[in-house]
Amino acid sequence: MDDLLPLPRTIETGAGSAEIAAGAVVSGPAALCDAVRLALGVLDPRPGDAATAALRVEEDPRLGPEAYVLTIAPDGVRIAAGDRAGAFYAAQTLRQALPDEAFRSALPPGTRWTLPCGRVADAPAFAWRGTHLDVSRSFLPKREVLRMIDLMASHKLNRLHLHLADDQGWRVESRAFPLLHEVGSHRPRTVVSHHGEDLAFDDVPHGGHYTLADLAEIAAYARARAVVVVPEIDVPGHASAVLAAYPALASRPGERYRVLDRWGISPAILSPLPATVDFLLTVFGEIADALGEVPYFHIGGDECVLDDWAASAEISAYRASLGLESTGDLHAWFLRRLADALAERGSRAVVWDEAFVSGGLRPDTIVMPWRGEHVARRAAAAGHDVVATPVFPMYFDYAEAASPEEPAGLGDAITLADVAAFEPAPASWSPEERARVVGTQFQLWSERIPDGRSLDYRAWPRGCAAAEVAWTGGPPASEDFARRLGRHLGRLDAIGVEYRPLSGPRPWQRGGTGRRRHRPGVVTVQEVMRHLHELSLSADSTRPSM
């Protein structure tokens, strides 16, 4: 068991071996047994009596949330778990101790495996271990979302941040406001030119959305696998798709809007007036009701052009009636109003770091500081829980090498080694600041992720390194991680993940001639991070950063 990923806290080897076979009996509390059966589905474990069980599960609340102790002994496998998630993760660890075939969808009849005896005691360093999936820029069908949940579960990742709305598309049904999905969920074409080139388009319609029933299914599927869905409706900016459907919500009366067909930022912004707040709270309620349990709801707050607010006499009068001095104050008030309403439903608001810099957040609002460590530390020092999401090294839309053989990325480069070296809660911070870092997640912005094969390539194996950092709390020993990752890739092969090989892309994964080929050196992540840090210091921090 020396090749597990992410690395457990304690691994002990023992004498002897144990045998486990397809159809083995599992016993214990029903909820915990169900979690073990789900994680080991290829073995088809059957619930039964403890006297005949090869797998025995018990609950031990003293272990804490998501924690477990896995013991493999000659008389069978025993799992003690702090909760259902702990039992699920113990079974995932047991699955990794088996041959790679345990990660396939089916096994030959009569399969039996022998395991060396040992003991694993484990618990996560961070409560939030996430994957951000942008389904707005490029819509991904439900099957890809469910598959990502499975892959997250295999890596002990537990937060799926679904970016459901942006300028380029609205991706969820609304029964109260059906034009959101009827109009806002599709665009007639998509830009194909690179940054700095004359605009060129593919003239291919693109669209799609999830029904509320789809959301309910996704949430139930995720919960069974110890994953919490975090929906994001990004407001008040990034609003082209909303305003294409309901232009009356715009800050500029009489303007016509369309779903954006190019990448980047639009000045389209929702009005902060009461009608907009009522509209959003109705939609938030629809989404929350579909998902069922929504401990976190992301409301964005990033990259807003506030010029239309300043130019509107009606909005300026409303701002004055609230006793607010500037449009920046109104931006902060607007997000606080939404967060207060979400809190009444039992959800904590999550925002990007511009909303923190604007000020006025509820104390329980979680901040995602994408613009770097400095603004992350400021948010933590101010008492906000922080999920570390910096562009470098957690934006996986950047190419993995500064090479024209890579498929086109936003910039270059964020390597596997960069991700593995990430420290979400830096040692240089104070203990109080470090304690405010509740976790980290990697971002899959989808301008250049048009389908599931591209998603696999961008996410893995960098996602393996992110999972290691999120579970263990810090960078792994490089040589040991490289050894364990090399072994882990066999499991991904068995699942059928089309990851980026460590040696570089396969011939069919390479950037092709023309627009799909990466352009090294045009946008470098180091230059981007310097620029973002400078912007995060500005009082006019809501403006687009790119």
How far is residue 254 CA from its own chain's centroid? 37
Which residues are CB-neighbours of 449 under 8 A, at least 6 positions away?
134, 138, 140, 397, 455, 458
Which residues are CB-neighbours of 514 under 8 A, at least 6 positions away?
none
Do 350 and 436 share a domain, yes or no?
yes
Q: Which domain holds residue 77?
A: 10-122
Do 158 and 230 share a domain, yes or no?
yes
Is residue 191 within 8 A of residue 210, CB to CB? The reply is no
Boundary of a domain, candidates 122, 139, 157: 122
Produce one character per residue of 319-332: b if its CB has 16 or more CB atoms within 10 Å, e if not: beeeebeebbbbbb
pLDDT tens, position by position, 429-465: 999 999 999 999 999 999 999 999 999 999 999 999 9
Do 203 and 241 share a domain, yes or no?
yes
Structure-block tokens of residue 136: 């707005």
Q: Distance (Å, rounded) from C-alpha 285 to C-alpha 461?
A: 36
- Which residue, 171, 210, 199, is CA-closest to 187? 171
CATH number of 71's domain: 3.30.379.10
Which residues are CB-neighbours of 478 under 8 A, at least 6 positions away?
417, 420, 421
Which residues are CB-neighbours of 341 under 8 A, at least 6 positions away?
277, 281, 284
Q: Provide the pLDDT for residue 64.
A: 96
Do 34 and 155 share a domain, yes or no?
no
Is residue 338 within 8 A of residue 281, CB to CB? The reply is yes
Q: How many CB atoms are located within 10 Å of the residue 304 CB? A: 32
Do 293 and 319 share a domain, yes or no?
yes
Q: What is the tally of structural domains in the chain?
A: 2
Do 111 and 85 share a domain, yes or no?
yes
* The residue to which tokens 């040589």 are assigned: 479
Do 205 and 259 share a domain, yes or no?
yes
Residue 542 included in any domain: no
Q: Provide the pLDDT for residue 147.
A: 98
**One-letter amino acid of 411:** G
Do 408 and 290 share a domain, yes or no?
yes
Which residues are CB-neighbours of 34 under 8 A, at least 6 positions away?
84
Q: What is the pTM of this model?
A: 0.97
Is residue 508 within 8 A of residue 185, CB to CB? The reply is no
Q: Provide the pLDDT for residue 195.
A: 76
Q: Distance (Å, rounded) from C-alpha 248 to C-alpha 243?
A: 7
pLDDT tens, position by position, 161-204: 999 999 999 999 999 999 999 999 999 999 988 877 889 999 99
Residue 263 included in any domain: yes
Q: Which residues of the chain have pLDDT under 50?
A: 546
Is residue 351 within 8 A of residue 301, CB to CB? The reply is yes
Do 19 and 105 share a domain, yes or no?
yes
Please say if 303 is a catalytic residue. Answer: yes
CATH number of 188's domain: 3.20.20.80
Q: Provide the pLDDT for residue 205.
A: 96
Do 107 and 182 share a domain, yes or no?
no
Residue 409, CA distances (Å) to 233, 392, 453 in order: 25, 14, 15
3-state SS track over 133-193:
EECCCCCCCHHHHHHHHHHHHHCCCCEEEEEEEECCEECECCCCCCHHHHCCCEECCCECC
* The residue to which tokens 């996430």 are assigned: 130
Q: Provide the pLDDT for residue 53.
A: 93
- Which residue, 231, 299, 293, 242, is CA-closest to 266? 242
Name the catalytic one among 66, 232, 303, 468: 303
Which residues are CB-neighbours of 477 under 8 A, at least 6 positions away?
none
Do 300 and 341 share a domain, yes or no?
yes
Do 175 and 238 share a domain, yes or no?
yes
Residue 4 included in any domain: no
How far is residue 189 CA from its own chain's centroid? 27
Residue 545 included in any domain: no
